[in-house]
């Protein structure tokens, strides 16, 4: 790992001083001092400023920005500025502009507007990245490199078509292998020449939009190709930087659960992970937490940077609610609790114009230091400063893993049947939420991860099973662990072809079930499910997909209560191996109380239900500092105070107060405690 070297959690955010006259900079830095701002992300959209023409570079303004930061004792995360083309580039090289899903070549405008297969874009973006690295690699303010910004989107132009064919040749080598993988004998699509292959879009294989495709194999591969094409742009810029700067860490800012790009394919090429957290403000706290844990899992549990969050409100949605008092502090500490080693905002000063002029900022248009938002930002800065280096580099000692797989996400949602109403992200979040609200720390990991350290592996909606994954999941249960999976799991191989065996395919032996039929119904149709017996029984609801399960050694834990399959299993448990391992199978989309019931029982058999699980609004998280010190975070997401009983003797690092085990501990509304356990 090559992570930025700091003596505390970096605090600050995106700063675009080129938008204002220099006298404003003086006021900005005065206010930065008040708010304990020590880190600035600069140059994110500066390409047209630093390169006003193809044969001209001008670093005058950027020089002054970095010199001023250094003079003020602040560090800089320096962006290459290549996320938005300068107008001259798009006009000189029209092929740089993207072609959309409907086949329309776009003119200049917006951002993320470049074709990743364009030689002109690749040549010019690496040239500016190299020039920046050559000029600033030894600058005292430089802390990290920030390549591009929020990579995303897709292109369907002729350049991408040619690059796609090259990519396919490398993947499949022969047309026979490709035709077999894509099942092209269906509908007479068998290809006899590579040049017959066109990108899957509205003019070729698709109907009713990007998720409706006649051939899932080609669409799935185009997702993979576009992920790799954009990654190629990142890698080219990183290589250009490395020719002049061999040490400064390099990253780009991800967007959490962002469907278009498989971040697991990117992870090895980043020195450290970073992301921009903008969850809907009416989403449960576990939605942002899942994004944090996903980012932490990209680099084998290493800390990540929270590169952006809003200090108050967003501007890109139809309705943009304001963060209530205390919510900014709570969100920042939640990120730290889940592994963030930096807390940065977008934006430091509100933009004067264009589409983000109403986006929240640390400093508003009037430049005041007496606003509620500025005061809250300053208070968080004070707390992070007082915390010092205690949490830097701390890791999460999780014994529960949740598998997150972009291939399964894509394959499930482009599938014709059983139900287009099933959304991968929602299913995964339901099981993650159940585990987190039970007090378990969760590592969100790829399907290729080493699973030997986990007692529980949650694999909801594991639609695609690749390589030796089934064997590795069986090994978890064989040594006494528990594996849980759900409906629509184990259905297809890496090419999205159905397994020619009983459902759930390679997972059948572990789960001890066979599924011959499945019933898909509209969202308003429910089938009651009875979970458990006696005092612990819960009557809950299943929706969307109802798989009809034939036990093959598994025992029913919950049963359907209606329709012709009433009384058949909806949830099963299967003993596996000689060490007491289990495989749990959930055959329908249970509502959240039902998911909670199942997951809590899975966790309980391994002693993983946390000491504060009875407090519905209190989130907990653990990090272990590099010196072995355990840090325990308590976050109250309720608008009212909550009193809990301390589970251990500790010192609250935010207040200095000592807490004895068994003593009451009060968390204010949106309150936070960071406990150093004794």
Q: Which of 150, 327, 437, 582 is catalytic?
A: 150
| CA pair distance 626, 431, nearest whole angstrom | 30
Q: Which of 237, 308, 383, 474 is catalytic?
A: 308
Contact by Cβ (8 Å): 652, 423? no
Query: DSSP secondary-structure letter at 538?
Result: E
Q: What are phi and psi of 228, to 5 degrees?
A: -70, -35
Contact by Cβ (8 Å): 77, 249? no
Q: Report how far apart, in Å, the C-alpha atoms of 85 and of each of 18, 92, 96, 160, 497 are.
A: 17, 11, 9, 18, 40
Beta bridge partners of 15: none
Q: CB neighbours (10 Å) of residue 471? A: 11
For CA atoms 123, 124, 129, 130, give the dihedral sign: positive
| CA pair distance 10, 76, nearest whole angstrom | 10
The label of the residue with tokens 């204002």 reads: 20
Beta strands 340-345 and 274-276, pairing class:
unpaired
Q: Residue 624 belongs to what H/E stretch?
A: strand 618-624
Beta strands 664-667 and 642-645, pairing class:
antiparallel
| CA pair distance 443, 576, nearest whole angstrom | 23
Contact by Cβ (8 Å): 62, 217? no
Q: Residues comprising the binding site for substrate? A: 111, 149
Nearest to 373, CA basis, from 317, 337, 331, 319: 331
Q: Residues comprising the binding site? A: 111, 115, 149, 155, 157, 160
Q: Residues comprising the binding site for Zn(2+)? A: 115, 155, 157, 160
Active site residue 308: yes
| CA pair distance 358, 499, nearest whole angstrom | 51
Nearest to 438, CA basis, from 599, 674, 636: 599
Active site residue 150: yes
Beta strands 142-146 and 75-79, pairing class:
parallel
Contact by Cβ (8 Å): 155, 200? no
Residues identified as active-site: 150, 308
């Amino acid at each position: 790992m090559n992570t930025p070297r700091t003596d505390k959690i970096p605090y600050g955010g995106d700063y675009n001083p080129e938008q204002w006259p220099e006298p404003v900079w003086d006021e900005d830095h005065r206010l930065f001092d008040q708010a304990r701002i020590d880190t600035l992300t600069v140059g994110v959209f500066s390409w047209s400023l630093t390169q006003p023409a193809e044969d001209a570079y001008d670093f005058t303004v950027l020089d002054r920005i970095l010199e001023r930061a250094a003079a003020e004792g602040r560090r800089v995360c320096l962006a290459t500025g290549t996320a938005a083309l300068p107008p001259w580039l798009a006009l000189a090289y029209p092929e740089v502009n993207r072609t959309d899903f409907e086949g329309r070549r776009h003119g200049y405008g917006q951002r993320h507007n470049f074709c990743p297969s364009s030689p002109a874009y690749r040549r010019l973006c690496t040239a500016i990245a190299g020039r920046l690295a050559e000029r600033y690699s030894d600058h005292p303010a430089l802390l990290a490199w920030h390549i591009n910004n929020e990579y995303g989107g897709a292109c369907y132009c002729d350049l991408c078509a040619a690059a796609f064919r090259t990519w396919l040749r490398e993947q499949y080598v022969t047309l026979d292998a490709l035709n077999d993988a894509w099942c092209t004998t269906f509908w007479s699509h068998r290809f006899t020449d590579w040049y017959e292959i066109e990108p899957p879009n509205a003019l070729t294989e698709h109907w009713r939009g990007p998720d409706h495709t006649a051939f899932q194999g080609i669409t799935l591969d185009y997702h993979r190709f576009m992920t790799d094409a954009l990654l190629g742009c990142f890698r080219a810029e990183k290589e250009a930087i490395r020719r002049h700067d061999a040490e400064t860490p390099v990253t780009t800012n991800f967007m959490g659960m962002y469907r278009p790009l498989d971040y697991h394919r990117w992870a090895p090429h980043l020195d450290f992970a970073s992301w921009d957290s903008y969850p809907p403000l009416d989403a449960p706290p576990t939605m942002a937490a899942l994004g944090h844990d996903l980012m932490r899992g990209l680099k084998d549990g290493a800390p990540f940077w929270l590169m952006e969050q809003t200090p108050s409100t967003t501007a890109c949605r139809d309705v943009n609610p304001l963060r209530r008092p205390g919510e900014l502090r709570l969100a920042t500490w939640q990120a730290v609790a889940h592994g963030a080693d930096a807390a940065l905002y977008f934006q430091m000063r509100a933009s004067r114009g264009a589409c983000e002029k109403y986006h929240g900022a640390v400093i508003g248009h009037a430049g005041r230091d007496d606003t509620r938002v500025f005061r809250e930002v300053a208070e968080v800065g004070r707390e992070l400063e007082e915390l010092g280096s205690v949490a830097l580099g701390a890791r999460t000692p999780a014994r529960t893993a949740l598998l997150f797989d972009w291939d399964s996400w894509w394959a499930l949602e482009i599938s014709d049947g059983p139900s287009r109403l099933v959304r991968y992200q929602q299913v995964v979040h339901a099981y993650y939420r159940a585990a987190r609200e039970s007090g378990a720390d969760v590592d969100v990991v790829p399907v290729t991860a080493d699973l030997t350290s986990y007692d529980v592996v949650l694999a909801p909606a594991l639609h695609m099973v690749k390589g030796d994954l089934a064997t590795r999941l069986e090994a978890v249960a064989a040594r006494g662990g528990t594996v849980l999976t759900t409906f629509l799991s184990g259905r297809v191989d890496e090419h999205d072809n159905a397994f020619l065996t009983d459902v759930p395919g390679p997972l059948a032996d572990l789960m001890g079930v066979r599924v011959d039929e499945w019933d898909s119904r509209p969202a308003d149709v429910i089938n009651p499910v009875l979970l458990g017996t006696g005092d612990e029984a819960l009557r809950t609801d299943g929706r969307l997909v109802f798989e009809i399960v034939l036990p093959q050694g598994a025992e029913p834990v919950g049963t359907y209560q209606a329709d012709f399959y009433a009384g058949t299993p909806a949830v099963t448990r299967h003993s596996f191996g000689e060490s007491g391992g289990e495989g749990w199978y959930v055959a329908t989309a249970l509502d959240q109380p039902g998911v909670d019931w199942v997951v809590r029982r899975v966790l309980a058999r391994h002693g993983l239900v946390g000491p504060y699980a009875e407090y519905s609004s209190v989130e907990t998280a653990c990090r272990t500092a590099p010196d072995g010190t355990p840090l325990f975070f308590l976050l109250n997401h309720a608008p009212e105070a909550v009193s809990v009983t301390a589970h251990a003797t500790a010192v609250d690092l935010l207040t200095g107060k000592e807490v004895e085990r068994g003593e009451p501990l009060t968390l204010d509304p949106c309150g936070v405690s960071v406990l150093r356990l004794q």
